[in-house]
């Protein structure tokens, strides 16, 4: 099955922004950093798990300072997880 070229690629910054259209600027502004389509394959699954958790929280919760703070902390955690995955034996395969 081929992807519709009019639709952003899953995991891309455009995909995340399209999903969150109409949300508060702070929410849209931080969610773009959860994009993972640019990462090497071994790191994508780690980053994707965090991106999907972020999207789940955005769907469940209203915009506000606590959501933004939670997303920012999840983003920091995602960065740590991806750096840890860099040290995994299969990360550079």
Question: pTM of the entire structure?
Answer: 0.82
- HSE-CB of 87 using CA atoms within 13 angstroms: 4
C-alpha pair distances (Å), 42 with each of 16, 17, 24, 47, 53: 21, 24, 32, 10, 19
Give tens-digit pLDDT for 70-92. Answer: 999 999 999 999 999 999 877 55
Give tens-digit pLDDT for 13-40. Answer: 888 888 888 899 999 899 999 999 999 9
Q: What is the separation, in whole angstroms, between the first and last Cα of the chain?
A: 27
Place of tokens 């969150």: 20
């Amino acid at each position: 099955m081929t992807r519709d070229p009019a639709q952003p690629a899953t995991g891309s910054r455009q995909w995340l922004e399209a999903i969150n259209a109409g949300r508060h600027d702070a929410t849209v502004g931080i969610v773009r950093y959860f994009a993972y389509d640019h990462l090497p394959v071994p790191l994508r699954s780690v980053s994707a798990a965090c991106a999907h958790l972020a999207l789940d929280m955005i769907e469940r919760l209203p915009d506000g300072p606590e959501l933004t703070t939670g997303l920012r902390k999840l983003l920091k955690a995602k960065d740590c997880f991806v750096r840890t995955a860099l040290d995994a034996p299969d990360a550079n395969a």
